[in-house]
Structure 1
Amino acid sequence: MAGRQQDRGSTPARPRRRPVVALYERMVEAIRTGSYPPGSTLPTEPRLAAELGVSRPALREALILLQEDGVISVRRGVGRTVSHHLPPRGFEFLKPVERLLGEGGQAVTVPLARTHEEPTDFSTQHLVLPARGEVRFWESVIEVAGIPACLTQEWASDETLAELLPDAVAAFDGPGGNASSLLGLVLDAGRGLPLTGSSTIVATTLGRQRGAQLGRPADTPGVLVTQVVRLDRTPLLAAKHMLPPGAPALPVWQAR
């Protein structure tokens, strides 16, 4: 089978962000640290390019992205002005469910399963998996203030992650594995990389097994969030998060 070959013992190259994205984030960081305070007018293009040590064409592309994302606004006769209310950082849109649920209180990840299994229809549908082999499967209950608030099931291909995020695979079998979700370790290993997530939300009932795991009757209504996390276009992780009534509210961003 044709494919890329690597020398034994070599470390796969980590994907890098596009230069315009890196420049975008430099400018956002400069705004957040006060170099260009909210409400201030940015310097002219020539001066700003000189301050940042970049070309004007590259700067122009980054400025377009900043305007599209609401970080700056442009007014005729005034110039480019830094917005008073900045949108969250890009990587803050993607957080482990235990961190989202724990925003208003203490969240604890209780491991139920840390194993490998044969690919299921769900994992095959959402992940790039080898033709024959196993997929990593983790199941956890997220407790908030001692009460089960979410049942999380996660699947990931070790083969894909070993190529793109080898640090994540090493972390899975480390001491932090029982205290974190798969997503938490993937995000830590991929810090600084363009990881994105997409989700669907449906109303359902817990059922007998999930009800028992969450300490609720089988016919209890719940919200099921299905999530896929990608690096560029490659899916790294697929998950289901079942939230029963009374779980802390999750912030939802809807794409339009």
Structure 2
Amino acid sequence: MAHRQQRRPVVVLYERIVEAIQEGVYPPGSQLPTEPRLAADLEVSRPALREALILLQEDGVITVRRGVGRTVNQHPPRRGFEKLRPMEELLGAGQPVTTVRLAQTTEEPTDFSTQHLLLPARSRVRFWESLLEVDGTPCCLTQEWAATDETLAALVPSPAEALDGGQEPPSTMLRLLLEAGRGVQLKGSSTLVPTMLGRRRGEQLGRPADTPAVLVTQVVQAGRTPVLAAKYMLPTGAPALPVWQSR
């Protein structure tokens, strides 16, 4: 079995602290425990904790004041499109998101999937098309292509079992791969371009064909190997995708 690359412990620790803040363990405006106490609570070394705390300060999640300590900011930035997450989570922001499966097939590679997944000739690939509804309103049309089973095997021990079974409730392919490949270092690269829905996508989203939209194309890699290629069509009025930037 291929060696699985683990995420850096400091990155995992950073995300644990952010999740604890979001869950109210360390609410906005409160002070974090002292460094020795926090290291003991999280069962980590103080050097690793100190590095994670520096990153949290740089990203505006906490503020450090001499004589006061580390304070959780009142409005810490919400992790958004800069972190590899399923589109359901990005669009939800606390609201219910329903995934409606429109197509789940295997097909010959398209120009898009061949280019981004480096597919061999005469192969067949999984293709999923889904509609994401936020609080009952169609907000995103997703199209996803997976790499071959041979490629996915390094990420998911049994790709066919993970992807071809009936998912209840349905989800995007990216969500399943992220859950099945926990501990594997995954990264994504995306492009965003303005466009119009067009007739077919307009009908699927219940909008006029000339509705302005944003088309997001995304390629997810395990190491240097592409495992997923996707397109996301977001019409005007869809929830915003937060992008967290810091200096």
Q: What's the counterpart of residue 164 of structure 2? A: 173
Name the CA distance, whole Å, in 2 between partners of 1:233 and 1:135: 19
Q: What's the counterpart of residue 210 of structure 1? A: 201
Q: 2:106 aligns with which of 113, 116, 132?
A: 116
Name the CA distance, whole Å, in 2 between partners of 1:159 and 1:177: 25
Greater share of residues in helix = 1
- When residues 97 and 81 of structure 1 are mapped into structure 2, their CA distance, relative to the original with a 3 A threshold, is closer
Name the CA distance, whole Å, in 1 between partners of 2:143 and 2:27: 43
Q: Which residue identity lines up with residue 182 of structure 1 in the other structure?
A: M
Contact kept, 8 Å, 2:5 with 2:183, in 1: the verdict is no
Name the CA distance, whole Å, in 2 between partners of 1:159 and 1:21: 29
Q: 1:156 aligns with which of 126, 146, 157?
A: 146
Matching of residues 1-256 of structure 1 within 5 Å? 6=1, 14-28=4-18, 34=25, 38-40=29-31, 42-44=33-35, 49=39, 54-88=44-78, 93-101=83-91, 107-130=97-120, 133-143=123-133, 148-157=138-147, 158-166=149-157, 169-176=160-167, 179-191=170-182, 194-215=185-206, 218-231=209-222, 234-245=225-236, 247-253=237-243
Structure 1: segments with no counterpart, 5+ residues? 1-5, 7-11
Name the CA distance, whole Å, in 2 between partners of 1:200 and 1:192: 26
TM-score (norm 2): 0.73
Q: What's the counterpart of residue 9 of structure 1? A: none
How many residues matched? 244
Question: RMSD value over aligned CA atoms?
Answer: 3.9
> Residue deviations 1:79-117, cap 9 Å, x none?
444434334468995443345555586544333321222
Deviation at 1:166, TM superposition (A): 3.1
> Residue deviations 1:39-85, cap 9 Å, x none?
325425x6655665544433332232222222332334444444343
Q: Which residue identity lines up with residue 14 of structure 2 in the other structure?
A: Y
Q: Secondary structure of the equivalent of 1:242?
A: strand
Name the CA distance, whole Å, in 1 between partners of 2:192 and 2:16: 34
Deviation at 1:28, TM superposition (A): 4.3
Q: Which residue identity lines up with residue 48 of structure 2 in the other structure?
A: A
TM-score (norm 1): 0.71
Name the CA distance, whole Å, in 2 between partners of 1:135 and 1:151: 19
Q: Which residue identity lines up with residue 225 of structure 1 in the other structure?
A: V
Identity across aligned pairs (percent)? 64
Deviation at 1:176, TM superposition (A): 0.5
Contact kept, 8 Å, 2:79 with 2:242, in 1: the verdict is no
- When residues 33 and 119 of structure 1 are mapped into structure 2, their CA distance, relative to the original with a 3 A threshold, is same
Larger Rg: 1
